[in-house]
Amino acid sequence: METINFAAQNWQVILERAGEHIVIVAAAVGIAIITAVPLGIAITQNRRAADAVLYAASILITIPSVALFGIMIPLLAPIGHGIGAVPAVVAIVLYSQLPIVRNTYTAIADVDPALREAAMGMGMRPFQRLGQVEIPLALPVIMAGVRTAVVMSIGVTAIAAYIGAGGLGTFISRGIAQSDPRQLITGAVAVSLLAIAADLGLGALQRALTSKGIR
């Protein structure tokens, strides 16, 4: 009851924090998509490169986020961003590589070789083949990777409150520091709701982007 009152009284602050949270996640996952999708496609050309890249991405994701933030303080301090939103974004970009690269790689590599041969035999150039055949067919699996990355990033961003990135994690860190269950629960519930909403929204986007022929 107290928590509900707290949330009702502070809804404007909650919205503001949620906004910060979303900006960090959106920026980071956006960058991750731009880097990881081409990387995932590129490594379909070479088995050894694929193994190496997927191995590296798997190692990255095992580093605890708090440790990663700690490592980045000295690395990013020279450009004035040792703490704040920038290291949070960098960490999420790194974490998001594995789900997006792996799903892109698997989906593109799984495209029926007969379709590739038909596309080549009819005179598609490699990028036309990617754009007209391979990416549209791989899209549901790539989007599934993006959804995983987004949900994971919402959690990581909550922890980034400890390095001053803002966002909904602020309620959690303050709730812990001040032994205030109202803030703690408000933050936790808000982070969960945001994750669920993001996943549902991206699921709808995935269906809208997927061709009726493969739905």
Minimum distance of other proteins from residue 120's CB (angstroms):
6
CB 166 within 8 A of CB 20: yes
Which residue, among 85, 59, 61, 83, has the nearest Cα to 71 in the 3D structure?
Answer: 83
Show contacts with other proteins in window 173-202 (CB under 8 A). none
CB 194 within 8 A of CB 18: yes
Contact region for other proteins (CB under 8 A) — 38-46, 55-63, 114-122, 163-171? Answer: 114-122
CB 158 within 8 A of CB 168: yes
Q: Residue 114 interacts with other proteins (CB under 8 A)?
A: yes
User: How far apart are alpha carbons 43 and 35 in whole angstroms?
Assistant: 13
User: How far apart are alpha carbons 168 and 193 in whole angstroms?
Assistant: 11
User: How far apart are alpha carbons 129 and 209 in whole angstroms?
Assistant: 18
Q: Residue 141 interacts with other proteins (CB under 8 A)?
A: no
Contact region for other proteins (CB under 8 A) — 2-10, 109-117, 147-155, 190-198? Answer: 109-117
Contact region for other proteins (CB under 8 A) — 20-28, 78-86, 131-139, 164-172? Answer: 131-139
To the nearest 10 degrees (0 to 180), the angle between helices 135-159 and 85-109 is: 150
User: How far apart are alpha carbons 40 and 50 in whole angstroms?
Assistant: 8
Minimum distance of other proteins from residue 97's CB (angstroms):
26
Q: Residue 47 interacts with other proteins (CB under 8 A)?
A: no
Q: How far is CA 4 from CA 9, 10, 17, 179, in A?
A: 8, 10, 17, 17
Minimum distance of other proteins from residue 111's CB (angstroms):
10
Minimum distance of other proteins from residue 124's CB (angstroms):
7
Interface residue with other proteins among 133, 141, 144, 176 (CB under 8 A) is 133
Q: Residue 58 interacts with other proteins (CB under 8 A)?
A: no
User: How far apart are alpha carbons 187 and 170 in whole angstroms?
Assistant: 7
Q: Residue 136 interacts with other proteins (CB under 8 A)?
A: yes
Q: Residue 8 interacts with other proteins (CB under 8 A)?
A: no
Nearest to other proteins of 70, 125 (CB atom): 125
Contact region for other proteins (CB under 8 A) — 60-68, 120-128, 155-163, 200-208? Answer: 120-128
Which residues are at the interface with other proteins (CB under 8 A)? 112, 114-115, 117-125, 128, 132-133, 136-137, 211-214
